[in-house]
Structure 1
């Protein structure tokens, strides 16, 4: 069996080369696109094809029309099938063995070939690229950052490259300043999927507002579904000497909001639902329509996968959240997938939480803090040293 790699401008041209050099019995094993150095657009197409050179019995092939289109030429021709089931199965097994071998080799050298022109990148920026990949940023985004830094004449050390890579990796992230309050009453609702840490996050902010801003605060629980949730929130509110009320309907919530006009802050804890629970989201939307909060915080955990994080933002967008609270940073091995998800689903971040301590482990969001969580010193020290 002969295996050959073809580089062409497009798939049509590549198939033509395969047909010309290997014949119509060739089998395409794999194909991939090669992007331009700047990551924008396709520079070429790489196709790996194979042909079985083992002696064959003379078999009369059907005559083909001369005007047959290239796209109509089968990848595995009828000629191969007509050899007989046993020979075909042996050939197929051999092809799969060769394909697995190629995949194994590609896997071993994948990081190095992703540079595309690695000869242009010196060791500093190659190390930056690999560190970005270890942090679970995408190949394209990591290469773009490393290439951008490499093109700058004023970066001469790994430390300088590290600082700049943190900036580039998080510059797309939007930040929303915390609400100060005091001038007028502020009603804030906390929404999000089950287990995201809404209740703990709410009580942290309530205690911070009371201790630092000396604010008059009311906590309203509209979450009657979580077992023990009401008791937990009521207990924490009592410890902090914060007023607390439970509601079960939208009308009850509306009446309390209208009655408690002299408060500085009203924090509303809502029930947690799966993003796929449409009826649950509709119930929350009904509650929010009754109280018309100035702020709606979408609370999501940094431990989520990138796809789940994006899906949750998409589904909860029906509630029109103003900003995001990113929780459990201390429990996330890496937040690279979260950072990538925020590129495709832009929503401002207001707060970050990084522990269980109440109220210490919460802080206003900043790109600097996010970049440190994304690319911690420990990761770079371990890799570079």
Structure 2
């Protein structure tokens, strides 16, 4: 009798256990990888990229031709007066639960960053419990849907695309520093309350056997402030940014060996170390900038001295830093975050000079710009051509 009582109590207890009966099976969910946001005629226009994980293993294996019916991703589109309304309208046409925990990146159009629209979007995304602070952030002027539909080179997995993981190629070149939600929130909350978001374009440099291929490329930054969008710095006007922080792994400069010739030389620059010192005199502040780097010489056509190469590198890096600074200044952008440098190192003076978190800057605010080339490496050869003419 006692054994029966124990058995019945055990069965009753097991019925009270919840187990995993309320958990959605992974194969019965859609996974968001990318989100594009535009703003037109008073409405938010969203593009939701759903990634197909059943094709991820195929596209990462040695098989270059995954099943044509197994699309890596599909993009849905919807509009609404708010971001949430647009999403709910899109949910009406989705036949599975949507999981946001794998959201990897967000692309803003220029219009979506204006008039504080981006700040509202950031707040909405970060309030949702499934999203994270490691979401990469981009901006563009190209059609967002076209960008989201681009497949990586050689049909690699979308999870390893340039937008999905911009750090993949950081060791090759760090032209534009990637920015995630954490960087974005810090940059907008602290002086100078501005942040440069990587500017993405559609690149057509690659070709396949039957058609022209496309991929994405970082071509500059779009600067966002707590008051809205400030402007773009693209192509050559953005080049100076890579020499003004310590997070650049690798970059290049190209210059003429002689002003009277057409011979050009490209050098690889690495191990960039930057020191910015605020100098205060009579309630006026200027900044002394010291940039140290190493250089490696790539192929060239004639014999050249280390002294000549060093001189050319210093001249070119200075020019790029000043060009970017002046282009940004014309749009009232503190591109090198000089206001933050003063805030960190002399907050009393910063409080006297700041207005809305920024200090007044002019073309002469950088009073000293010193470039030191610590080493000029010749690679496997000395500073002479490989083939004698």
Query: For this structure pair, what is the TM-score category when the shorter chain's length is used for normalisation?
Result: under 0.3
Normalised to the residue count of structure 2, the TM-score between the two structures is 0.23
Normalised to the residue count of structure 1, the TM-score between the two structures is 0.23
Higher strand share: 2
Larger radius of gyration: 1
